Chains A and B, each alone.
Chain A
Amino acid sequence: MFKRLTRLNIAMLLRVIGWLLMIESAFLVVPLLTCLYYGESDWEAFAIALCITATVGVLMTFCIRPGRSDMGKREGFLLTASVWVFFSLCGMIPFMLGVSPIGFTDAFFEAISAFTTTGASTYVSVDNLSHGLKLWRCLMEWLGGMGIILFTLAVIPMLNYSGGMQMFNAEVTGITHEKLRPRVSQTAKGLWFVYFILTGILIVLLYMGPMSLFDSVCYAFSVMSTGGVSTSDAGIGAWDSLYIKIVFIVFMVLGGVNFGLIFKVGTGQFKAVRENQVFRIFMGTIIVLVFMTSIAAYIGNPVHSIETSVVDPLFQVVSMMTSTGFSVPEVNMWGDFVLLLVFLMMFMGGCAGSTSGGAKIDRIIVLIKHSRNEIYRCLHPNSILNVRVNNKVASPDTVSKVIAFLCLYVMIVLVASGLLTILGMPLGHSFFTSLSCISNAGLGINIMGVDATFIGIPDVGKWILSLVMLIGRLELFTVLLLFTTDFWRK
Chain B
Amino acid sequence: MKIVIAGAGEVGSHLAKLLSREEQDIVLVDDDSSKLDAISSNYNLMTFRGSPTSFDALRNAGVENCDLFIAVTPFETRNVTSCAIAKSLGAKRTVARIDNYEYMTNDNRDFFTRLGVNSLIYPEYLAASEIVTALERNWVRHWFEIHDGEIILVGVKLRDNARLIGMQLKELAAMQHNFHVSAIKRNHETIIPRGDDYIKSNDILYFTTRRDDVNELLELCGKRHRPIKKVMIMGGSRIAVRLVKMAGERYRFKIIEISRERCLKLSEKVPDADIVCGDARDIDTLKEERISDMDAFIALTDSSETNILSCLSAKEFGVPKTIAEVENIQFISEAEGLNIGTIVNKKLLASSKIFQMLLDADSSSSKCLALADAEVAEIEVKPKSKITKAPVKDLNLSRSMTIAGLIRDGHGQLVTGNTTIQAGDHVLVFCLAGSIHKIERLFN
Q: Is A183 within 8 A of B44, CB to CB?
A: yes
The residue in chain A whose Cβ has the minimal distance to the Cβ of B4 is A182
Q: Could you list which residues of chain B lie within 8 angstroms of chain A, going by C-beta atoms?
A: 2, 20-21, 23, 25-27, 33-34, 40-46, 49
Q: Is B41 within 8 A of A182, CB to CB?
A: no
Q: Could you list which residues of chain A lie within 8 angstroms of chain B, going by C-beta atoms?
A: 160-162, 164-166, 169, 177, 179, 181-184, 186, 392, 395
Which of A160, A164, A165, A182 makes the CB contact (< 8 A) with B27? Answer: A182
A-B contact pairs, 20 of them (CB 8 A): A162-B43, A164-B44, A165-B42, A165-B44, A166-B42, A177-B41, A179-B46, A181-B25, A181-B46, A182-B20, A182-B45, A183-B20, A183-B23, A183-B25, A183-B44, A183-B46, A186-B25, A392-B49, A395-B33, A395-B34
The answer for the CA separation of A169 and B40 in the assembled complex, in Å, is 10
| In the A-B complex, the 9 residue pairs with the closest CB atoms | A182-B25, A182-B46, A179-B46, A184-B44, A182-B26, A182-B27, A182-B45, A165-B44, A183-B44
Task: Write out the residue numbers on chain B whose beta carbons fall within 8 Å of the beta carbon of A177.
Answer: 41
Pair count A-B, CB < 8 A: 37
Q: Is A161 within 8 A of B44, CB to CB?
A: yes
The residue in chain B whose Cβ has the minimal distance to the Cβ of A182 is B25
The answer for the CA separation of A288 and B21 in the assembled complex, in Å, is 48
The answer for the CA separation of A200 and B422 in the assembled complex, in Å, is 51
Task: Write out the residue numbers on chain B whose beta carbons fall within 8 Å of the beta carbon of A181.
Answer: 25, 46
The residue in chain A whose Cβ has the minimal distance to the Cβ of B47 is A179
Task: Write out the residue numbers on chain B whose beta carbons fall within 8 Å of the beta carbon of A164.
Answer: 44
The answer for the CA separation of A184 and B42 in the assembled complex, in Å, is 11
Minimum CB–CB distance for A231 against chain B, Å: 40
Minimum CB–CB distance for B2 against chain A, Å: 7
Counting chain A CB atoms within 10 Å of each CB, the highest count among B2, B33, B42, B49 belongs to B42
Counting chain A CB atoms within 10 Å of each CB, the highest count among B20, B21, B40, B44 belongs to B44
The residue in chain B whose Cβ has the minimal distance to the Cβ of A153 is B44
The residue in chain B whose Cβ has the minimal distance to the Cβ of A157 is B23
Given known A182-B2, A395-B33, contact A165–B25 (CB-CB < 8 A) = no
The residue in chain B whose Cβ has the minimal distance to the Cβ of A161 is B44
Q: Is B46 within 8 A of A165, CB to CB?
A: no
Which of B23, B26, B33, B41 makes the CB contact (< 8 A) with A165? Answer: B41
Minimum CB–CB distance for B302 against chain A, Å: 29
Given known A183-B25, A395-B33, contact A169–B41 (CB-CB < 8 A) = yes
Minimum CB–CB distance for B368 against chain A, Å: 22
The answer for the CA separation of A183 and B20 in the assembled complex, in Å, is 8
Task: Write out the residue numbers on chain B whose beta carbons fall within 8 Å of the beta carbon of A162.
Answer: 42-44
Minimum CB–CB distance for A402 against chain B, Å: 15
The residue in chain A whose Cβ has the minimal distance to the Cβ of B25 is A182
Q: Is B2 within 8 A of A165, CB to CB?
A: no
Task: Write out the residue numbers on chain A whose beta carbons fall within 8 Å of the beta carbon of B49.
Answer: 392
Task: Write out the residue numbers on chain B whose beta carbons fall within 8 Å of the beta carbon of A183.
Answer: 20, 23, 25, 44-46
Minimum CB–CB distance for A6 against chain B, Å: 19
The answer for the CA separation of A357 and B97 in the assembled complex, in Å, is 47
Task: Write out the residue numbers on chain A whose beta carbons fall within 8 Å of the beta carbon of B45.
Answer: 182-183
Minimum CB–CB distance for B256 against chain A, Å: 41
Task: Write out the residue numbers on chain A whose beta carbons fall within 8 Å of the beta carbon of B25.
Answer: 181-183, 186
Minimum CB–CB distance for B258 against chain A, Å: 37
Q: Is B41 within 8 A of A160, CB to CB?
A: no
Minimum CB–CB distance for B69 against chain A, Å: 14
The answer for the CA separation of A165 and B20 in the assembled complex, in Å, is 12
A160-B23, A182-B46, A395-B34 known; 5 other A-B pairs, CB under 8 Å? A162-B42, A166-B42, A179-B40, A392-B49, A395-B33
The residue in chain B whose Cβ has the minimal distance to the Cβ of A269 is B60
Minimum CB–CB distance for B289 against chain A, Å: 47
The residue in chain A whose Cβ has the minimal distance to the Cβ of B3 is A182
The answer for the CA separation of A162 and B43 in the assembled complex, in Å, is 5
Minimum CB–CB distance for A367 against chain B, Å: 21
